[in-house]
């Protein structure tokens, strides 16, 4: 177990940056960063970006100096590295390819939505989350779901298209955007269904007979059932997205969210979602809730 740092050599914002990674877990990395006073917003999925002026100080606090090549190799070996397809141009290309299977005649709309998902104030509600929801749907769809496949996929694209950190209002604005942009592009019944599905993500509590709603809500919550490392990454970027909120207020709000999700019975409404994610989601959320209770 170790925290590694490479020499400052990555230019940005008028200086150069180092990368800070863990060889064992994101918990170790976040603990080191917190002790060193590195802000949450410096976390980028599998590493922290730290400016050159802090390099020597972090080494003195225990970060091991390695070359850039050694750091990358160690990150890959740890299993914590985020794949390239989930980053930058490759991520955008992957998402545009998926859009082409839904509305191939409207690439400009896909570009507009990706620009929204890529807004600089976002940390969790980003194209990475969009791809994760679409990949989760890949696992949930059954052959009998074909009639509702288009509205479910479109609702995934629109469900966080507007994000300002205002629960409820963001979903309403996203649903309104879906109606505005899809009207005239797809059948009116599809527009109304997308609007309904986006609004369901306010509470993630679809009815027992609502297969489309169950598919979208389960896919949106699939992150909760990830590996401990993936869940720790998710929790960190959620905190980074609310970095403007003081710790005490954030902890109170986060505890409320976790308690509400843990109270959903069942959390996942599709049989496939339950088998894939339910057990780990319960463990992950209970662990985070316990950690928030500690001073």
- The whole-angstrom separation of Cα 57 and Cα 132 is 36
Pairing of the two strands 64-65 and 3-5: parallel
**Residue pLDDT, tens place only, 8-38:** 988 878 888 999 999 998 889 999 999 999 9
pLDDT at 87: 72
pLDDT at 295: 55
In the chain, where the domains are located:
3-81, 86-220, 225-293
- Please, how many CA atoms are within 13 Å of residue 170, restricted to the half-sphere of its CB? 16
- pLDDT at residue 84 tops 70: no
Which residues are bridge partners to 17 per DSSP?
10, 51
**Residue pLDDT, tens place only, 102-147:** 999 999 999 999 999 999 899 999 999 999 999 999 999 999 999 9
CA angle 247, 249, 251 (to 5 degrees): 65
pLDDT at 85: 63
- pLDDT at residue 263 tops 70: yes
Look at 84-98, 191-205, 238-252 and tell me which has the smallest mean pLDDT: 84-98
């Amino acid at each position: 177990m170790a925290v590694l740092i490479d020499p400052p050599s990555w230019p940005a914002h008028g200086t150069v940056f180092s990368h800070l990674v863990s060889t064992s877990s994101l918990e170790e990395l976040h603990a080191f960063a917190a002790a060193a006073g590195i802000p949450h917003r410096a976390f980028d999925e599998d590493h922290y970006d730290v400016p050159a002026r802090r390099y020597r100080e972090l080494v003195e606090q225990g970060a091991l100096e390695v070359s850039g090549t050694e750091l990358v190799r160690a990150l890959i070996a740890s299993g914590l590295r985020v794949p390239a397809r989930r980053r930058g141009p490759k991520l955008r290309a992957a998402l545009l390819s998926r859009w082409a299977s839904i509305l191939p005649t409207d690439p400009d709309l896909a570009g507009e939505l990706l620009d929204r998902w890529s807004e600089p104030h976002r940390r969790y509600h980003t194209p990475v989350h969009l791809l994760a929801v679409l990949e989760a749907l890949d696992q949930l769809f059954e052959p009998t779901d074909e009639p509702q496949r288009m509205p479910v996929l479109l609702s995934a694209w629109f469900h966080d298209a507007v994000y300002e950190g205002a629960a409820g209002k963001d979903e309403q604005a996203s649903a309104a955007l879906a109606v505005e942009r899809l009207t005239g592009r797809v059948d009116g019944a599809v527009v109304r269904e997308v609007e309904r599905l986006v609004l369901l993500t306010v509470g993630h509590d679809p009815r027992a007979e609502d297969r489309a709603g169950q598919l979208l809500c389960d896919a949106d919550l699939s992150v909760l059932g990830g590996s401990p490392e993936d869940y720790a990454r998710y929790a960190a970027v959620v905190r980074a997205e609310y970095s403007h909120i003081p710790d005490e207020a954030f902890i109170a709000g986060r505890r409320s969210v976790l308690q509400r999700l843990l109270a959903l019975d069942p959390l996942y409404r599709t049989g496939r979602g339950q088998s894939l994610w339910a057990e780990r989601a319960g463990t992950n959320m209970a662990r985070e809730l316990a950690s928030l209770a500690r001073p």
